[in-house]
Chain A
């Protein structure tokens, strides 16, 4: 798959990171109580995901491959992402105060978000070029944000609905997510993507 538009669509809808690939479920269920927080988290994820895909691509193709250190991938990527998030947080705090106020509290949470690390691994496994990797990361991040916001809207309504007590909280959220995933299954086969 080389066409950037198809890579974007596949990452955004067909192989949605949350509902089809099951990555980033902790923030999906954890911080989707209100549309506002879901939007903030989504923006932070898009931002960090794009940066992380750049940095890890450079580290992998510039350092690990030439020196034959591919087996260190897991350890190097997680440490790179952890320090990247710290750096971004410090930089934002000094230079872009308003942006920091909007996204700042979500940044530390992102380090252990498996969606970020997952995307960097998928970038390598799919043998994406630098540009295609960027498009893949942006598409995935957008997919995450759209699903987060939609799910937060559903959960705001679910809080008010009369539900059997044993279904309250997590069970009903899982079932709502199941119905959403079923709807997203309808996108498979779009433009021949699977």
Chain B
């Protein structure tokens, strides 16, 4: 497989959230606004990229029997780094994402890529793979965040985009928890109808 397709595969064709249906918890919980969705996506991409690189570097010296605990330890190291980094430099975003930042450690998407790809492939391919899957995740969360923020709040990145009439009565339902389930359900249905 050439290098470009390693990267693009994770973006849409094997998109973690909408096609493989993994990493649903953060996707639904943090896609209330574009900023939250994008921030969560980038945090997960960072963890995925660096854990893939380190695991791929160490793939020949990790004993097969204890590989899962070692993967989890490596992943949790990077989760702790991004956790403290966001706490220090993006306190507002950190407060909005809440418990979902430390919970990146149990995102099956990251352990899944470590097990299925990084533990068997070269460092460069693993980095590309991690970046592709991570950006696919970011893309999904940003799109969901945009739909929910525009229709549910009448804003995009905090700027008002609809007139006064809409501002007073937006579809508040969409930024509340039920809206997350509805938006991802409709997106998945559209994907089923037009992409296959």
Contact = CB atoms under 8 A, between A and B. Distances in A.
A78 B185 contact: no
Given A118-B99, A185-B177, A185-B178, A24 B185 contact: no
Given A26-B108, A112-B111, A114-B106, A74 B181 contact: no
B86 interface: no
Interface string A153-183: 0000000000001111011111101110110
A182 B184 CA distance: 15
Interface in A67-88: 71-75, 78-79, 82
A121 interface: yes
Interface stretch (B69-77, B117-125, B149-157): B69-77
A166 B80 contact: no
B12 interface: no
Contacts of B25: 22-26, 114
Contacts of B180: 22, 178
A174 B181 contact: yes
Contact of A179 (B80, B83, B178): B178
Nearest to B106: A114
How big is the A interface, by class? 35 or more
Given A21-B29, A175-B182, A175-B185, A166 B103 contact: no
B193 interface: yes
Nearest to A16: B177
B1 interface: no
A167 B187 CA distance: 10
A166 B76 contact: no
Nearest to A24: B25
Contacts of A177: 181, 185
A22 B106 CA distance: 14
Given A26-B22, A78-B106, A121-B99, A171 B189 contact: yes
Interface in B148-185: 173, 176-182, 184-185
A64 to B, nearest CB: 13
A26 B103 CA distance: 14
Given A26-B24, A181-B177, A172 B105 contact: no
B102 A20 contact: no
B21 A112 contact: no
Interface in B1-49: 21-22, 24-26, 28-29
Contacts of A71: 80, 84
A182 B106 CA distance: 27
Contacts of B182: 174-175, 178
Contacts of A20: 177
Contacts of B106: 78, 112-114, 117
B90 interface: no
A167 B105 contact: no
A193 to B, nearest CB: 15
B185 A171 contact: yes
Given A23-B25, A78-B72, 16 more contacts: A19-B177, A22-B25, A23-B29, A74-B76, A78-B105, A114-B106, A118-B103, A165-B192, A166-B192, A170-B185, A171-B188, A171-B192, A174-B188, A177-B185, A178-B181, A185-B178
18 contacts: A22-B26, A22-B177, A71-B80, A74-B105, A75-B80, A78-B76, A79-B73, A112-B111, A114-B107, A117-B105, A166-B190, A170-B21, A171-B186, A171-B188, A172-B185, A174-B184, A177-B181, A178-B181
Interface of A: 19-26, 29, 71-75, 78-79, 82, 112-114, 117-118, 121-122, 125, 165-168, 170-175, 177-179, 181-182, 185
